[in-house]
């Protein structure tokens, strides 16, 4: 479906100061597509993702999922936050944290819930750690817990707000590859916010760039690189390098224009 998720003329102004985080944002996401949302700091990427999720409301414009207006959280969508240390509970085990994703809404027995959670822990590579506590895990493993908890709800859309930005370089590439496998195996639609051009180009089928604040779409471009992707080979492809240069130049132009306008 071409316009599975449609964002049309979206604007968000903050009541406290009246300034716009973004304005006139319009783009669509196809079912099963992996879209990276990038842009300079302060352009409204995270705010836009919150609006898409229904966790907050735009000032104007519409967001539709399969033609239905999103005006609150939807069961089809799950959100993975940047700060995994604040999204999982330190006093609960890995299994207990994942169980929270379906504990009150699945209609399954406790035994069935545990079985489903263990299956999803296996999917993210944590099958041996259900009884560990978060403090016993690395940062990357904690974020895997958060991803498993989101996936156990069996969402159709995964919204991810810079989920790997707090991790070291090696852990980031591991989780990028894990995410691509999950996307392919589960048939997910993913909108992935990142400030990292290289990460965006490596994981996504399409990159949507917001300009400097107030953000609006300045680039909406396909990434014609085949899957499965390889960390070294893909990043060396001429198409990858050309797109990287184009996006970097566009972002810098937006930042410089914003700074000039602020003087």
DSSP string, 148-192: HHHHTT--SEEEEESTTTTS-HHHHHHHHHHHHHHHHHHT-EEEE
End position of a domain, from candidates 97, 125, 154:
154
Predicted confidence at residue 263, as pLDDT, reads: 46
- Is residue 177 over pLDDT 60? yes
Predicted confidence at residue 252, as pLDDT, reads: 85
Quick one: 33 and 132 in the same domain? no
- Is residue 2 over pLDDT 80? no
Better pLDDT: 199 or 214: 199
Please report where in the chains the tokens 């590579």 appear, as a residue: 125
Predicted confidence at residue 17, as pLDDT, reads: 66
Quick one: 123 and 245 in the same domain? no
Burial-class residue 148 by CB neighbours within 10 Å (0-12, 13-18, 19+).
buried
Look at residue 201 and tell me if it is in a domain.
yes
Quick one: 107 and 145 in the same domain? yes
E strand segments, the chain: 5-13, 20-29, 34-38, 60-65, 68-69, 77-80, 157-161, 189-193, 206-210, 217-222
Quick one: 141 and 181 in the same domain? no
Look at residue 57 and tell me if it is in a domain.
yes
Structural domains in the chain (count) = 2
Listed residue (66, 86, 82) closest to 74, CA to CA: 66
pLDDT digits (tens, 9 = 90+) for 88-123: 999 999 999 999 999 887 788 999 999 999 999 999
Domain carrying residue 175: 5-76+155-262
pLDDT digits (tens, 9 = 90+) for 124-149: 999 999 999 999 999 999 999 999 99
CATH number of the domain within which 14 lies: 3.40.50.300
- What does the pLDDT average to over 196-223? 92
Q: Assign residue 215 a region: left if phi > 0, alpha if psi is -120 to 50, beta otherwise?
A: beta
Predicted confidence at residue 258, as pLDDT, reads: 67
- Is residue 192 over pLDDT 60? yes
Look at residue 181 and tell me if it is in a domain.
yes
Better pLDDT: 2 or 39: 39
Q: Which of 28-37, 48-57, 103-112, 225-234 has the lowest mean pLDDT?
A: 103-112
End position of a domain, from candidates 133, 154, 175:
154
The share of the chain scoring above pLDDT 90, in percent, equals 76
Quick one: 184 and 59 in the same domain? yes
pTM more than 0.85: yes
Q: Which of 10-14, 18-22, 44-48 has the lowest mean pLDDT?
A: 18-22
End position of a domain, from candidates 112, 130, 154:
154
Quick one: 107 and 160 in the same domain? no
Look at residue 124 and tell me if it is in a domain.
yes
Better pLDDT: 153 or 16: 153
């Amino acid at each position: 479906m071409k316009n599975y998720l449609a964002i049309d003329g979206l604007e968000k102004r903050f009541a406290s100061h009246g300034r716009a985080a973004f304005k006139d944002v319009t783009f669509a996401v196809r079912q099963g597509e992996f879209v990276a949302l990038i842009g300079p700091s302060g352009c409204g990427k995270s705010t836009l993702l919150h609006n898409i999720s229904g966790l907050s409301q735009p000032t104007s414009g519409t967001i539709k999922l399969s033609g239905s207006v999103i005006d609150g959280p939807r069961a089809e969508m799950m959100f993975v936050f940047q700060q995994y240390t604040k999204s999982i509970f330190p006093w609960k085990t890995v299994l207990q944290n994942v169980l929270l994703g379906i504990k009150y809404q699945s209609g399954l027995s406790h035994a069935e819930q545990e079985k489903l959670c263990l299956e999803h822990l296996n999917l993210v590579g944590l099958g041996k750690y259900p009884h560990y506590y978060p403090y016993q895990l690395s940062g990357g493993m904690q974020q895997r817990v958060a991803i498993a908890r989101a996936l156990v709800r069996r969402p159709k859309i995964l919204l991810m707000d810079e989920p790997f930005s707090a991790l070291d370089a090696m852990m980031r590439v591991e989780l990028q590859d894990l995410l691509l496998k999950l996307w392919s195996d589960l048939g997910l639609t993913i909108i992935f916010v990142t400030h990292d051009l290289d990460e965006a180009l490596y994981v996504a089928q399409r990159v949507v760039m917001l300009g400097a604040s107030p953000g609006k779409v300045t680039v909406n471009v396909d990434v014609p690189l085949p899957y499965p992707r390889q960390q070294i080979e893909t990043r060396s492809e001429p198409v990858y390098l050309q797109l990287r240069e184009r996006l970097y130049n566009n972002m810098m132009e937006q930042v410089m224009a914003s700074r000039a306008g602020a003087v």
